[in-house]
Amino acid sequence: MQFEGLSAVVSGGAGGLGGATARRLVELGMGVVVFEPEADRAHAFTQELGANAVYVPGDHNDDAAVQRAIAEAQRIGMFCINVNAAGVAINSPPTASIDGTPHDMQIFRDMVELHLFGPFNMSRLCAAAFALNKPDEDGQRGVIINTASTAAFDGQARQAAYSASKSGIVGLTMAMARDLAEIGVRACAIAPGPILTPRLAGAPEALKAALIGNVAFPKRFGRAEEYASLVEAILRTPFLNGQTIRLDGAMSTPLTSMAGAPAPK
């Protein structure tokens, strides 16, 4: 894939994973729309990236905002890449607590809306825009990369809502890839383990030590730049489609309570 002249929308584009991805795509010569609800952080970050980056404020569940991001991406290049890395910390209770209190359903709804509905909304609207692109030599018109999590496969205590959301990303990836094959759009997902973003950096030290203890090799947290490099590898590999790729240092997952922890991405 030749990146010059192309453009992308990165949702959560000023966050840890999204920010590293936006930076890498700009380095590759692409125009990048940083799609992000947190205006101050996103504006400063976009200025840092330079002339090839544009900030569009908005939420990924807001169709009008998504369409504004798409229109801006079409203005600055051939829009054919969508990376979805938006997410915020939502503390989740256990399914039921020892005093007989059940999990709050609104928290569950909020988690699924943020981490599953939003990425799918971005995917469907971006794919519709990609359908109008001129295909390349493989017939490809676009690529969508969503963010799952190792929690999709190995959910921890107090992760029922988060794990359900990320399992949904894994489940839709192959189905979406097959749906979009007829218009030449690929769909993949990345399932990070513990990546040292600012969010995880603020977690309790005992929790961080436990998470690193579960990683086989290298014995450290992942880096956001490694997520971005995997995005690049997916873009450069047209035969890679419908797959969810774990990025976790061969992590094993003995029981680790996620009480009070931010979402691990």
Q: To 10 degrees, the CA torsion angle through 72, 76, 82, 87? A: -50
82 forms beta bridges with 9, 144
Q: CA 175 to CA 7: how far, in whole Å?
A: 25
- pLDDT, one tens digit per residue, over 35-81 is 999 898 999 999 999 999 999 999 999 999 999 999 999 999 999 99
Q: Evaluate whether residue 252 is within a structural domain.
A: no
Q: Evaluate whether residue 64 is within a structural domain.
A: yes
Extract the runs of DSSP E, i.e. beta strands, from 49-140: 53-57, 78-84
Closest alpha carbon to 117 in 37, 62, 155: 62
Q: Give the H or E element holding residue 11.
A: strand 6-11
Q: Evaluate whether residue 263 is within a structural domain.
A: no
Q: CA 172 to CA 167: how far, in whole Å?
A: 9
Q: Evaluate whether residue 257 is within a structural domain.
A: no
pTM: 0.93
Q: What range does the domain containing 197 cover?
A: 6-247
Q: Evaluate whether residue 259 is within a structural domain.
A: no
Q: Evaluate whether residue 253 is within a structural domain.
A: no
Q: Evaluate whether residue 110 is within a structural domain.
A: yes
Both tokens of 72, joined, read 């801006």
Residue % of the chain over a pLDDT of 90: 83
Residue % of the chain over a pLDDT of 70: 95
**Residue 181 DSSP label:** G
Q: Evaluate whether residue 92 is within a structural domain.
A: yes
Q: Is the pLDDT at 232 greater than 60, yes or no? A: yes
| Overall number of domains in the chain | 1
Span 20-47, average pLDDT? 96
Q: CA 202 to CA 260: how far, in whole Å?
A: 11
| Residue from 3, 79, 162, 221 carrying the catalytic annotation | 162
Residue 33: CB atoms within 10 Å:
29
pLDDT band at 91; cut points 50, 70, 90: confident
- Sign of the four-CA dihedral 201, 148, 231, 13: negative
- Contact between residue 141 and residue 79 where contact means Cβ atoms under 8 Å apart: no
Both tokens of 197, joined, read 């973003």
pLDDT band at 210; cut points 50, 70, 90: confident
CATH number, residue 106: 3.40.50.720
Q: CA 259 to CA 265: how far, in whole Å?
A: 16
Both tokens of 214, joined, read 């579960």
- Contact between residue 227 and residue 20 where contact means Cβ atoms under 8 Å apart: yes
* 162 included as an active-site residue: yes
Reduced to 3 states (helix: H, G, I; strand: E, B; else coil), residue 113 is helix
Query: Cis link prior to 194 (omega < 30° from 0)?
Result: no
